[in-house]
Structure formats: structure tokens, C-alpha cells
């Protein structure tokens, strides 16, 4: 597998993991959900419809931490993914921040999890990554 293919695979795997935590869904699912919400408020007066939709938004905006979503659970998911083995600890920390923007996560905290949890977690061994610049140039031709 070429280096560019590995990057694409890792990027796709990271986006799937992030979507699993954040609930980000494909556009066709958004259209389906929009139609369902419009159906829910169909026939309501404007005030009731706004109140109903506002309540839905407030529910979705609640902090994820109450459901057990922590830096540790998010980091573990990224660290155990074999497709992300080419990502460094600073890159994993950046991915964690995409899921939990308020998190104070650093490469040191990720490395600490790797060290302290190596027996408990199935952490994918890091892969030294390099690619041939000719691969990148071939894409542009």
C-alpha cells in the first residue's frame, strides 16, 4: 500500500471515529432527519413549533461528558485503531480535541495513557511513516 493510500485510509478511519462520538452524519441522513423534524412540528402553531425545536436543540447541545465521554475514552478509541498507527501522539491529541474541543489534551497526556494503559488497552503499535514524494507528484499529473 502506498504512503498516500495509508494517509487516505487513516484520515477516513479518524473521521469515522470522530463521527461516532460527535454524531456527525452524512448529508442524506441530515435531509431525512430534517424531514422528520418538520413532520413533528407539522400542524403546531409557530410558538409551539419553536419551543419544540428549541427543546431538541438544547438536548443535543448538552455536554457529552455526562454520558461517560472523556478524554480517556476518546483517546483510547484513536490509539487502538490500527489504521491510525501512523499518527503520532500529538496528532492523536489533535483528534481528541476535535471530539472534545474543551479538553486540555496534549501529546504528553496521550503518551501517558500509552504508558499506563499498555497492558489494559490494545494500543496499535506506532508505525514509522514515510512516503515517496514521487507518489504525491504522480497524483498531480
Eight-class DSSP state of 62: S
pLDDT tens profile 47-80: 999 998 888 887 766 554 535 688 899 999 999 9
Q: Which pTM value belongs to this model?
A: 0.60
The pLDDT value given to residue 109:
92
Nine-digit cell string for 29: 441522513
Nearest to 14 by CA among 87, 108, 67: 87
Angle at 135 between CA 131 and CA 137, to 5 degrees: 125
Amino acid at each position: 500500500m502506498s504512503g498516500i493510500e495509508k494517509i487516505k485510509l487513516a484520515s477516513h478511519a479518524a473521521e469515522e471515529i470522530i463521527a461516532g462520538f460527535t454524531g456527525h452524519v452524512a448529508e442524506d441522513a441530515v435531509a431525512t432527519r430534517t424531514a422528520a423534524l418538520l413532520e413533528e412540528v407539522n400542524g403546531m402553531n409557530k410558538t409551539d413549533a419553536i419551543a419544540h425545536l428549541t427543546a431538541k436543540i438544547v438536548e443535543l447541545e448538552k455536554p457529552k461528558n455526562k454520558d461517560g465521554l472523556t478524554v480517556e475514552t476518546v483517546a483510547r478509541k484513536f490509539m487502538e485503531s490500527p489504521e491510525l498507527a501512523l499518527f503520532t501522539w500529538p496528532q492523536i491529541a489533535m483528534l481528541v480535541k476535535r471530539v472534545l474541543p474543551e479538553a486540555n489534551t496534549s501529546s504528553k497526556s496521550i503518551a501517558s495513557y500509552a504508558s499506563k494503559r499498555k497492558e489494559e488497552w490494545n494500543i496499535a503499535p506506532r508505525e514509522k511513516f514515510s512516503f515517496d514524494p514521487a507518489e504525491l507528484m504522480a497524483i498531480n499529473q
